[in-house]
Amino acid sequence: MTIHNDGIFIPDIVLINGNISWREKMAYGFILKYAINKDKPFIDPRILANKMEIHIKEAIVLMARLKDEGYI
């Protein structure tokens, strides 16, 4: 759950991962929620930045980190 009660779902495997921060876990939840094709997450950082209310540069860093960890 987020401040805005977006009702995002973060899988347990992601929640217990100690290699990524809570912010990255939240980003992953948003990526899953707002993906049009649930089999393939979106790759546009503008959507993530808008949903998390952060700058696009921060969204790019979060998405790059998730990609490095193999989540997207």
> Which residues form the domain of 29?
12-69
Q: Residue 40 in contact with residue 30, Cβ under 8 Å?
A: no
Greatest mean pLDDT range, 15-19, 41-45, 54-58? 54-58
Q: Is 4 domain-assigned?
A: no
Q: Is 45 domain-assigned?
A: yes
H-type alpha helices, 18-55: 22-33, 45-52
Rounded to whole angstroms, the Cα distance separating 1 from 8 reads 6
Share of the chain above pLDDT 90, in %: 33
Token digits of residue 72: 């997207």
Q: Residue 59 in contact with residue 51, Cβ under 8 Å?
A: no
pLDDT attached to residue 15: 87
User: What is the value of pTM for the model shown?
Assistant: 0.79
Rounded to whole angstroms, the Cα distance separating 48 from 53 reads 8
Q: Is 57 domain-assigned?
A: yes
